[in-house]
Structure 1
Amino acid sequence: MDWWEISGNWVLIPQRPTAIVHFLGGAFVATAPQLTYRRLLERLALQGYVIIATPFVNTFDHAAIAQTVLQSFDRTLDALYASHLRRRSLPIYGIGHSMGCKLHLLIGSLFSTERAGNILISFNNFSARNAVPLIEQFSPVFSVEFTPSPLETNQIIAQNYRVRRNLLVKFSNDTIDQTTILTDLLQTRFPGMVVAQHLPGNHLTPLGPDANWQAGNVFTPFDAIAQWMRQEVYRELHQLEHTILRWLNPLARF
């Protein structure tokens, strides 16, 4: 299965699509999601999910980024319906990691769009001063904040977020995760519709290409060590993949 660049998005198209995933990555790794999240996204595609991964460059105006990535996604989706996808009724799910969660939350709150559900991994809603410590070095009185601010973002979600079905993932060793706050907000807004999962891992667990170790004609101790290391490195990512796929389709076998 090959990656395609279509209207500024990176796309994977399985042979028998069952649903569409709009993926948004973290602030500093979102410019090349087909590389930084390759293993995770290709695993989803193998299970029948069309992947549309939208790159973006971080700025202080997160609402503007949300609008831009939504417009970019819609252009690519229209192009796919005109060329590769015959069914126009495939459900659409949003998946976000870190800042990508905030963008999906803003999309679901500020703009008119249909989503069957959102998967929000390692939600991060820090202030600009905490997220960009260099600001204080330029000037101790220099005041700049993300738009919307963390407080405004929480208020927007609490009042306007319209995606009822959500999976929230928090990792056990993630010191910058703010999923607990988000869980409370969404469970209050949509009682019984929000699933919160705690998994082993850290903030970087969703990232990483799939490194395939090719053993030689004779299986050596080095091959055994390499395969063991690969299993350990991807054990936490595999649990994340399984959790996502089980939530998307509880009846699927994989």
Structure 2
Amino acid sequence: MEWQEISGNWVYLPRQEIIGIVHFLGGAFVATAPQFSYSSILEQIAQAGYGIVATPFLNTFDHLAIAREVLNRFETALERLQKTNRLGKRYLPIYGIGHSMGCKLHLLIGSLYEVERAGNILISFNNYPANRAIPLMEQFDLSPVFDVEFIPSPLQTEQLIADNYCIRRNLLIKFSQDDLDQTIDLNPVLQKRFPEMITLRTLTGTHLTPLSQNIRWQTGEIFTPFDAIGQWVNQKLSGNLMELKQEVLTWLNPMLAF
């Protein structure tokens, strides 16, 4: 199976019977090509029987408009897949998975629209103001000049989630070496809304772990110190990605834990 473009989404369907659908939204500056930037983790999830619909987007200051657009495109792709009977005829649960800004978009969708979701997985959530989220503005202190902020602002976003978020079951994932992560702030907001339905996990890795790729390191005829370093780095990255994959799949289907 290969990635296919359907209604502005990138779709990857497993060869075996599909047991669920994942709507994936990536980070702000890597979300334009999720079929490349997140290919390893998404294809591994697909191999467990989940159809992947990854919706690319361009980041703007209007996150409300982005959330509405990615939801519309996802629902259009889902309708086309159902009409062509590529998903089978039985009920399939739908899960949202977001990384970084993708978390915020799933939270906005779950707060503003009546969507059917069996749960959301929110990886490395952050909700920074524009002057911190956009490096150029912070580096050159441009925010007073342009006087811009994301729509909704970080405070408005938190209030929307606290008042209206309707997806009951959620897995929050943060990484041990992630200075951009704000999951620790999101967790109590969701816990208050849905006690005992929120799971928080801290895994080894960084903010970029979901972007890791499984690469087979090829050595030359002579094994060099450079090869040793390359294999060690690749093992570390692959190990962190494997841990993330296992955590995601176990939460999606708890029977995998037994």
TM-score range, shorter chain: over 0.9
Is the CA contact 2:213–2:238 (under 8 Å) kept in the aligned structure 1?
no
Deviation at 1:212, TM superposition (A): 3.2
Is the CA contact 2:212–2:237 (under 8 Å) kept in the aligned structure 1?
no
1:245 aligned residue: 249
Matched residue count: 252
1:33-48 superposed matches below 5 A: 33-48=34-49
1:173 aligned residue: 177
- What are the superposed Cα offsets for residues 41-96 of structure 1, whole Å, 9 maximum, x if unpaired? 00000000000000000000001100000000001101111121222510000000
Give the counterpart of 2:240 among 236, 241, 253: 236
Q: Give SS of 1:252's match.
A: helix
Identity of matched residues, %: 58
Q: Give SS of 2:144's match.
A: coil
Q: CA 1:250 to 1:142, structure 2 compared with 1: closer, same or farther past 3 Å?
A: same
Give the counterpart of 1:142 among 143, 146, 159: 146
Q: Give SS of 1:200's match.
A: strand
Deviation at 1:138, TM superposition (A): 4.3
Deviation at 1:214, TM superposition (A): 6.1
Greater Cα offset, 161-170 or 204-213: 204-213
1:48-127 superposed matches below 5 A: 48-83=49-84, 84-87=86-89, 89-127=91-129
Report the Cα distance in structure 2 between the residues aligned to 1:251 and 1:133, rounded to whole angstroms: 43
Q: CA 1:139 to 1:9, structure 2 compared with 1: closer, same or farther past 3 Å?
A: closer
**What letter matches 2:8 in structure 1?**
G
Is the CA contact 2:173–2:200 (under 8 Å) kept in the aligned structure 1?
yes
- What are the superposed Cα offsets for residues 193-241 of structure 1, whole Å, 9 maximum, x if unpaired? 000001111100100333234689x9x746x846554322211111111
Report the Cα distance in structure 1 between the residues aligned to 2:113 and 2:143, rounded to whole angstroms: 36
Report the Cα distance in structure 2 between the residues aligned to 1:253 and 1:212, rounded to whole angstroms: 28
The alignment yields a C-alpha RMSD, in angstroms, of 2.1
Q: CA 1:14 to 1:253, structure 2 compared with 1: closer, same or farther past 3 Å?
A: farther
Is the CA contact 2:34–2:55 (under 8 Å) kept in the aligned structure 1?
yes
Report the Cα distance in structure 1 between the residues aligned to 2:237 and 2:172, rounded to whole angstroms: 23
Q: CA 1:183 to 1:139, structure 2 compared with 1: closer, same or farther past 3 Å?
A: closer
Deviation at 1:252, TM superposition (A): 2.2
Deviation at 1:253, TM superposition (A): 6.6
Report the Cα distance in structure 2 between the residues aligned to 1:251 and 1:2, rounded to whole angstroms: 28
Q: TM-score, normalised by structure 1?
A: 0.93
1:157 aligned residue: 161
Q: Are 1:18 and 2:19 an aligned pair?
A: yes
Is the CA contact 1:81–1:88 (under 8 Å) kept in the aligned structure 2?
no
Q: CA 1:131 to 1:139, structure 2 compared with 1: closer, same or farther past 3 Å?
A: closer
Is the CA contact 1:44–1:245 (under 8 Å) kept in the aligned structure 2?
yes
